């Protein structure tokens, strides 16, 4: 049996702001540094490096990430001649260019509706790892022509446990001027949390949604064809809350790309429920073939 391929050191170049502890956690587990295990071949080690390179690129923290491997030679201490590649002392280097901390985006899109297309405008501000540990924060404000206003806050923290899972906390406030009633509009608030495994195989999310019908200023001449709500309807529709749970498992994912796959398969299972109980289950299977 051939000796395992061991990665001895990982060098990071270009990290001026993001702390080295972020890279140590991100890379040591994937490259099996400091463990008795190794890789079965140099090709397997190269695949692990490429996978980590792609993960770091998808994090949004870096403008570019370029990985390289160096396999040193074993030198005979007596005659100084090379004995061949030393696969137990492989060196890996990641050269990164960091994205700036603040990020501002503006977006306008058309959301298809049942009666007409609603024009939606949003502004998003984000911070990329302001403390240097890979954390991100995002605030988004949006409004639409037909009276929907949304306010979103999201915080993502990586490496929350030994498995390097990601924790996402988010809150959403929606204020929508429904056209069902003249005197009331729907106001909805949501708090959610999500834990995702680093390999993407498991994701558990929970959300608490609060909704209410609140009075709005009556505008004479608008929506004359729409009837107002009765007291009984408003009593039944107002002030409700709902707790939802969702679990997504991905036991199989052989796609060549998660963004634009051309080959491979994806198998996912999910469970959904309300008020703390899973009541809905399902399975989805996708197969991609560029020459089918």
Backbone angles phi, psi at 42, to 5 degrees: -65, -30
pLDDT at residue 285 tops 80 = yes
pLDDT of residue 95: 95
Question: Does residue 82 lie in a domain region?
Answer: yes
Q: Is residue 251 within 8 Å of residue 269, measured between CB atoms?
A: yes
Short-list 90, 103, 98, CA closest to 42: 90
pLDDT of residue 164: 82
| Cα–Cα distance for residue pair 278/245, rounded to 1 Å | 7
Question: Does residue 159 lie in a domain region?
Answer: yes
pLDDT tens-place string over residues 133-142: 999 999 999 9
**Does 88 share its domain with 165?**
no
List the structure tokens of 93.
Answer: 């280097």
Q: How confident is the model at residue 261 (pLDDT cuts 50, 70, 90)?
A: confident
pLDDT of residue 124: 92
**Does 91 share its domain with 164?**
no
**CATH number for position 83:** 3.10.20.310
pLDDT of residue 131: 93
| Interhelix angle 20-31/42-58, nearest 10 degrees | 140
Gyration radius from the chain CA atoms: 26
**Does 80 share its domain with 160?**
no
List the structure tokens of 29.
Answer: 């587990």
**Does 16 share its domain with 94?**
yes
Question: Does residue 261 lie in a domain region?
Answer: no
Question: Does residue 252 lie in a domain region?
Answer: no
Q: Which residues have C-beta within 8 Å of that of residue 8, sequence separation ≥ 6?
A: 33, 88, 89, 90, 91
Q: How confident is the model at residue 119 (pLDDT cuts 50, 70, 90)?
A: confident
Of 89-93, 173-177, 194-198, 262-266, the least confident: 173-177
Question: Does residue 169 lie in a domain region?
Answer: yes
pLDDT at residue 88 tops 80 = yes
Question: Does residue 103 lie in a domain region?
Answer: no
- Structurally, the chain folds into a number of domains equal to 2
Among 60, 75, 98, the domain boundary falls at 98
**Does 90 share its domain with 155?**
no
Q: What is the mean pLDDT of residues 55-61?
A: 87
Among 64, 98, 132, the domain boundary falls at 98
| Cα–Cα distance for residue pair 67/83, rounded to 1 Å | 26
**Does 86 share its domain with 160?**
no
Among 98, 125, 140, the domain boundary falls at 98
| Cα–Cα distance for residue pair 179/291, rounded to 1 Å | 48
Q: From residue 284, give the alpha-carbon distance in Å to each of 251, 268, 289.
A: 11, 5, 17
Q: What is the mean pLDDT of residues 244-264?
A: 82
pLDDT of residue 177: 60
| Cα–Cα distance for residue pair 274/277, rounded to 1 Å | 6
Question: Does residue 205 lie in a domain region?
Answer: yes
Structural domain that includes position 64: 7-98
Whether the model clears a pTM of 0.85, i.e. scores above it, the answer is: no
Query: Where is mean pLDDT largest: 105-109, 131-135, 275-279?
Result: 131-135
Question: Does residue 170 lie in a domain region?
Answer: yes
């Amino acid at each position: 049996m051939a000796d395992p391929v061991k990665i001895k050191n990982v060098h990071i170049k270009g990290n001026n702001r993001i702390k080295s502890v972020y890279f140590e956690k991100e890379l040591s587990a994937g490259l099996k540094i400091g463990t008795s295990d190794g890789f079965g071949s140099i090709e397997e080690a190269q695949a692990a490096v490429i996978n980590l390179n792609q993960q770091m690129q998808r994090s949004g923290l870096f403008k570019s990430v370029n990985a390289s491997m160096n396999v040193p030679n074993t030198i005979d201490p007596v005659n100084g001649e090379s004995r061949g590649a030393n696969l137990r002392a492989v060196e890996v280097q990641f050269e990164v260019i960091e994205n700036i901390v603040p990020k501002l985006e503006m977006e306008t899109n058309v959301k298809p509706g049942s009666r007409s297309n609603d024009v939606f405008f949003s502004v998003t501000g984000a911070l990329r790892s302001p403390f240097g540990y890979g954390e991100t924060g995002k605030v988004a404000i949006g409004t639409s022509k037909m009276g929907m206003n949304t306010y979103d806050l999201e915080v993502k923290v990586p490496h929350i446990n030994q498995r390097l899972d990601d924790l996402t906390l988010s809150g959403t406030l929606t204020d929508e001027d429904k056209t069902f009633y003249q005197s009331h509009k729907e106001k909805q608030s949501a708090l959610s949390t999500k834990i995702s495994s680093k390999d993407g195989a498991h994701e558990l999310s929970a959300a608490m949604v609060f909704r209410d019908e609140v009075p709005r200023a009556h505008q004479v001449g608008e929506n004359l064809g729409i009837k107002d709500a009765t007291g009984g309807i408003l009593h039944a529709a107002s002030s409700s809350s709902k707790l939802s749970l969702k679990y997504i498992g991905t036991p199989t994912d052989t796609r060549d790309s998660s963004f634009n796959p051309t080959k491979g398969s994806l198998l996912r299972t999910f469970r959904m429920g309300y008020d703390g109980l899973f009541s809905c289950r399902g399975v989805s299977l996708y197969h991609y073939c560029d020459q089918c």
